[in-house]
Amino acid sequence: MSQPPPFTLHVSEDTESDNQELSPDNEGALHTSFRQLIQEQSSLAEAGTELELQERGRGHPAHLAPPDASASAWLEPGQGEQHPGDSTTLRILASMPSRTIGRSRGAIISQYYNRTARLRRRSSRPSLQQLSRAARPSLRQYDLETDPARATLEDKRSLLAKELLSLSPSQRSHMLLSVPLSLAEKRALRRELNEQRSPLGLRAHHAAAPSPCGWSKDYIALGCRHLWYRLLALLPAAQPWHYALKQIGGRFGSSVLSYFLFLKTLLMFNVFSFLILLVFVVALQAAYPPAKANQQSFTGFELLTGAGYFTHSLLYYGYYGNITLNDPSASSLSGSVAAPAAPPLPYNMPLAYLFTVGVSFFATCILLVYSMYHSFGESYRVGSSAGDLAIKVFCAWDFKVIQRRSVKLQCENICTQLKELLAERRSRSCPLSLCQRLGRVAVLLLAWVLSLSTVLGCVVAVHYFSEHMHAVQQEHRALAGSSWQREGILLVLPLTVSLLNTLMPHLYNLLATWERQDSPEVEVYMAICRNLLLKMVVLGLLCYQWLSRRVICSDEECWETCVGQDLYRFMVMDFVFTLLDTIFGELVWRLISEKRLKSKQRPEFDIARNVLELIYGQTLTWLGVLFAPLLPAVQVLKLLLLFYIKKTSLMQNCQAPSKPWQASRMRTVFITLLCFPSFLGAAVFISYTIWSVKPSETCGPFQGLETIYKSVNVWAKLLEKSSPNITWLTWLHQYLVENTFFLFFLSGVLLAVTYFNIQVVRGQQRIICLLKEQIANEGEDKIFLIHKLHSICKQKERCA
Partner 1 sequence: MELHGRYHEMAPNVVPMDYTKDPDVKLPMQLIINMPELKENPFKERIVESFSEDGEGSLSFNDFVDMFSVLSEMAPRELKAIYAFKIYDFNTDNFICKADLEKTLNKLTREELTAEEITLVCEKVIEEADMDGDGKLGFADFENMISKAPDFLSFSFMFHI
Minimal distance, residue 176 CB to partner 1, in Å: 10
* Cβ–Cβ < 8 Å for 709, 690: yes
607/623 with CB nearer partner 1: 607
Q: Is 50 in the site for partner 1 (CB under 8 A)?
A: no
Interacting residue with partner 1 among 31, 191, 205, 246 (CB under 8 A): 246
Answer yes or no whether residue 394 interacts with partner 1 by CB under 8 A.
yes
Stretch of residues binding partner 1 (CB under 8 A), selected from 48-56, 539-547, 575-583, 787-795: 48-56
Q: Which of 188, 323, 414, 533 binds partner 1 (CB under 8 A)?
A: 414
Residues in contact with partner 1, shown as a per-residue x/- string from 641 to 670 under the rule CB under 8 A: ---------------------xxxx-----
**Amino acid found at 166:** S
d(CA 739, CA 41): 73
Nearest 5°: phi and psi at 400?
A: -75, -20
Site for partner 1 in 537-596 (CB under 8 A): none
Nearer to partner 1, 166 or 254 (CB): 254
CA pair distance 607, 260, nearest whole angstrom: 10
Least gap, CB of 67 to partner 1 (angstroms):
9
Rank residues 206 and 404 by Cβ distance to partner 1 and give the closer one: 404
Residues 346-385 that bind partner 1 (CB under 8 A): 378-379, 381, 383, 385
Is 761 one of the binding residues for partner 1 (CB under 8 A)?
no
39 in Cβ contact with 53 (< 8 Å): no
d(CA 527, CA 529): 5
Q: Does 419 bind partner 1 (CB under 8 A)?
A: yes
Stretch that binds partner 1, among 92-100, 316-324, 345-353, 558-566 (CB under 8 A): 92-100
Per-residue exposure over 497-522, b if at least 16 CB sit within 10 Å of its own CB, e if not: bbebbbebbeebbebbeebebeebee
Choose one: 9-17, 70-78, 444-452, 456-464; the region binding partner 1 (CB under 8 A): 70-78
Report the residue from 52, 192, 487, 574 that binds partner 1 according to the rule CB under 8 A: 52
The answer to whether 435 contacts partner 1 (rule: CB under 8 A) is no
Task: Supply the minimum distance, in Å, between the C-beta of residue 649 and partner 1.
Answer: 21
DSSP code of 676?
A: I
Integer CA distances (angstroms), 500 to 487, 523, 577, 651, in order: 21, 22, 10, 27
**721: contact with partner 1 by CB under 8 A:** no
What one-letter code names the amino acid at 658? S
Helix ranges, 549-630 (H)? 559-582, 589-595, 607-624
Region from 99-107, 296-304, 347-355, 613-621 binding partner 1, contact rule CB under 8 A: 99-107
Cα–Cα distance, 271 to 363 (Å, whole number): 12
The β-bridge partners of 604 are 655
The region that residue 386 occupies, defined by phi over 0 for left and psi between -120 and 50 for alpha, beta otherwise, is beta
d(CA 766, CA 628): 53
Contact 490, 553 (CB under 8 A): no
Instruction: Provide the minimum distance between the beta carbon of 108 and partner 1 in the complex, in angstroms, as a whole number.
Output: 9
Contact between 264 and partner 1 by CB under 8 A: the answer reads no
Which stretch, 415-423, 450-458, 711-719, 729-737, contacts partner 1 (CB under 8 A)? Answer: 415-423
Residues 567 and 627: beta-carbon distance below 8 Å: yes
Which listed range, 57-65, 136-144, 202-210, 439-447, lies at the site for partner 1 (CB under 8 A)?
57-65
Q: Which is nearer to partner 1, 401 or 699 (CB)?
A: 401
Task: Pick between residue 394 and residue 741 the one whose CB is nearest to partner 1.
Answer: 394
Q: Closest CB to partner 1 among 146 and 672?
A: 672
Q: Alpha helices of 430-491 — where are they, by DSSP H? A: 434-479, 483-490
CB 23 within 8 A of CB 142: no
Distance CA 192, CA 160 (A): 10
**Would you count residue 429 as binding partner 1 (CB under 8 A)?**
no
Q: Under rule CB under 8 A, which residues in 126-185 are in contact with partner 1? A: 174, 177-180, 182-184
